[in-house]
């Protein structure tokens, strides 16, 4: 799932380095697995997983970081099954003074039978 998200963002104009499970020491985007919700089980043995996704954007420029997180927010909201938990927000600055932003999603995905 995370590889697909990375590819989708890259193909749709996100130019920063995108990593999974980490973030580069510089301007970049990190995709992280977070706490989701319990799966939904149906009588036909279908399972819908509710996977937690956190996106963190880091940038030396506050305005560029904010622009990037808002672009990601707009792109992911076009996808079926992506439910934002809030609007993008600033999480402050890292130890090197770079601005960081975050947004969290619950991603609904059909589980393994």
Residue 105 has pLDDT above 90, yes or no: yes
> How much is the pTM?
0.88
Question: Looking at per-residue confidence, does 47 or 11 come out higher?
Answer: 11
Q: How confident is the model at residue 113 (pLDDT cuts 50, 70, 90)?
A: low
Q: What percent of the chain has pLDDT over 70?
A: 95
DSSP assignments along 8-67, one per residue: HHHHTT--SEEEESS--SSSEEEEEEEEEEEEEE-TTS-EEEEEEEEEEEEESSHHHHHH
Residue range 18-39, pLDDT digits in tens: 999 999 999 999 999 887 766 7
Question: Looking at per-residue confidence, does 44 or 10 come out higher?
Answer: 10
Domain that holds residue 80: 2-110
Domain total for the chain?
1
Identify the three-state secondary structure at position 71.
helix
In the block, tokens 């601005």 appear at 99
Tokens coding 55? 């996106």
CATH number, domain containing residue 75: 3.30.2000.10
């Amino acid at each position: 799932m995370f590889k697909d998200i990375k590819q989708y963002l890259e193909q749709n104009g996100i130019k920063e380095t995108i990593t999974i499970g980490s973030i580069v020491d510089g301007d970049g985007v990190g995709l992280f697995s977070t706490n989701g919700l319990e799966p939904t089980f149906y009588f036909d043995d279908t399972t819908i997983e509710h996977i937690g996704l956190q996106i963190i954007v880091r940038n030396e420029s506050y305005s560029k970081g904010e622009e990037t997180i808002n672009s990601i927010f707009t792109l992911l909201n076009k996808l079926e099954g992506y439910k934002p938990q809030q609007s993008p927000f600033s999480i402050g600055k890292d130890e090197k003074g770079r601005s960081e932003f975050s947004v969290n999603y619950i991603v609904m995905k059909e589980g393994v039978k």
